Chains A and B, each alone.
Chain A
Amino acid sequence: MNWVLETVLRRPNFLAFILLFLFGLHIMVADKHLIRKLIGMYLVQTGLMLFFITQGVKTGSTVPILLTSELPVQPAAYANPIPAALMLTAIVVGVATLGVAFALVISIYRQYQTLEEDELVRKMQ
């Protein structure tokens, strides 16, 4: 059990990522209401973003905006900009996907007048 303590308890961000990811995945699969599934999808997406941004942290570093007063730049003094840039794209794509998912949910409701999964399967047969 020593490696469990060493790997996980020294990385609280990673533990939070595991809990958010598994919880969101569980809600996406187990819950029967369509909008709760979308809440689970949102938790999965944001948990993954937390994991990526943790990879870009450097101890004792500041935000990745260069101070132009000290121009020979030491890269160890600034946080890593690349995971932040990737996650910026991921957030906006996530909200676009959420918009299309809501359009699908409203279309399903207009057609079948229910949002529970088992009633939906019964009405579609």
Chain B
Amino acid sequence: MDLIVTLPLLMLVLLTAAGAVFVKDLIASVLILGAYSFFLALLWAWQGAVDVAFTEAVVGAGLSTVFFLLTLFSVAQKETTRRSYRFSWLLMSGLMMLGLLMVYGAQGLPPVGDPTSPPNVHISPVYLERSFEETRTPNVVTSVIMDYRGFDTLIETTVIFTAGIATSLLLWRHKA
């Protein structure tokens, strides 16, 4: 993980995330969110998760931007530019304490990039070693999600199907 590429990408991710919130106009805010998804996909591709980066670039930068814009056009135009924000000290102090707790909990994390850290040791070398001879699939992520952990994908497909049903139950208009 080369820091020269990662640090500018991280700063771009944080800048676009801040920009998506602080801009007044909602349509501009949604398009900056699309740029945020794209920089996040670049960051993930650099760190080695290419399947996730591909999916995030298509789904996050493409599909969710389209859904956001469709919703904004379904709502009347005067709603989209008003600025509404309520600042409270209680919320700010609560989130600061949560942040300090997260930093304190980071002491237990393994060093970044360690091949002997607990996520990299128990079952994932087994999947990497046996994926080609058991399933003839060089792409280990595909064989993990479809063959070794196929139940997760089955339930996720059910969730997508349920989302389609829920959306059409809420918004189906009967044509004359």
Do the two chains touch directly in the complex (Cβ atoms below 8 Å apart)? Answer: yes
Contact in complex: B144, A12 (CB < 8 Å): no
Contact in complex: A7, B170 (CB < 8 Å): no
Q: What are 27 A-B pairs at a CB distance below 8 A?
A: A10-B112, A18-B99, A30-B86, A33-B84, A35-B75, A38-B68, A43-B17, A46-B37, A49-B56, A58-B48, A58-B120, A59-B114, A63-B48, A67-B138, A68-B138, A75-B115, A79-B48, A82-B127, A84-B49, A84-B51, A88-B145, A95-B60, A95-B64, A95-B67, A102-B70, A104-B170, A109-B79
- Of B64, B71, B98, B138, the residue contacting A42 (CB under 8 A) is B64
Closest Cβ neighbor of A87 among chain B residues: B52
- A contacts, CB < 8 Å to B: 3-4, 7-8, 10-14, 16, 18-27, 29-33, 35-36, 38-40, 42-43, 46, 49-50, 53-59, 61-68, 71, 73, 75-76, 78-89, 91-93, 95-100, 102-107, 109, 113-116
Contact in complex: A93, B124 (CB < 8 Å): no
Contact in complex: A32, B140 (CB < 8 Å): no
Interface residues of chain A: helix, strand, loop or mixed (majority): helix
Contact in complex: A23, B167 (CB < 8 Å): no
Going nearest first, the 6 A-B pairs with the smallest beta carbon separation are A79-B48, A75-B125, A59-B113, A96-B163, A84-B49, A32-B84
Given A12-B10, A73-B128, A91-B52, residue A99 in contact with residue B163 (CB < 8 A): yes
- B contacts, CB < 8 Å to A: 1, 3, 6-7, 10, 13-14, 17-18, 20-21, 26, 29-30, 33, 36-37, 40, 43-44, 47-52, 55-56, 59-60, 63-64, 67-68, 70-72, 74-76, 79, 82, 84-88, 91-92, 95, 98-99, 102-103, 106-107, 109, 111-115, 117, 119-120, 123-125, 127-129, 131-132, 138-141, 144-145, 149, 152-153, 156, 159-160, 162-164, 166-167, 170-171
